[in-house]
């Protein structure tokens, strides 16, 4: 019998233990959130720096993306 106890919750069986072992750590989750928050800003900055797009073109593309 395999079991784990976390914050007064008991997890029994291989299935529950495998699920617990696949969970990301707190630091990994914080890193994922930061990466998601940075991504849109990086895309806009890189598009502006590439010189291929104008600001008007970027605004139009963002409007079309919302629809």
pTM for this prediction:
0.46
Confidence of residue 51 (pLDDT cuts 50, 70, 90): low
DSSP state string for 2-67: -EEEETTEEEEHHHHHHHHHHSPPHHHHHHHHHHHHHHHHHHHHHHHHHSSS-HHHHHHHHHHHH-
For residues 35-42, average pLDDT: 83
Confidence of residue 46 (pLDDT cuts 50, 70, 90): confident
Q: Which residue has the higher pLDDT, 29 or 60?
A: 29
For residues 31-39, average pLDDT: 88
């Amino acid at each position: 019998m395999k079991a784990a106890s976390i914050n007064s919750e008991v997890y029994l069986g291989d299935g529950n233990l495998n699920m617990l072992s696949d969970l990301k750590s707190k630091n990994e989750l914080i890193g994922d959130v930061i990466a998601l928050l940075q991504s849109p800003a990086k895309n806009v900055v890189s598009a502006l720096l590439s010189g291929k797009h104008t600001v008007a073109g970027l605004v139009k593309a963002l409007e079309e993306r919302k629809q």
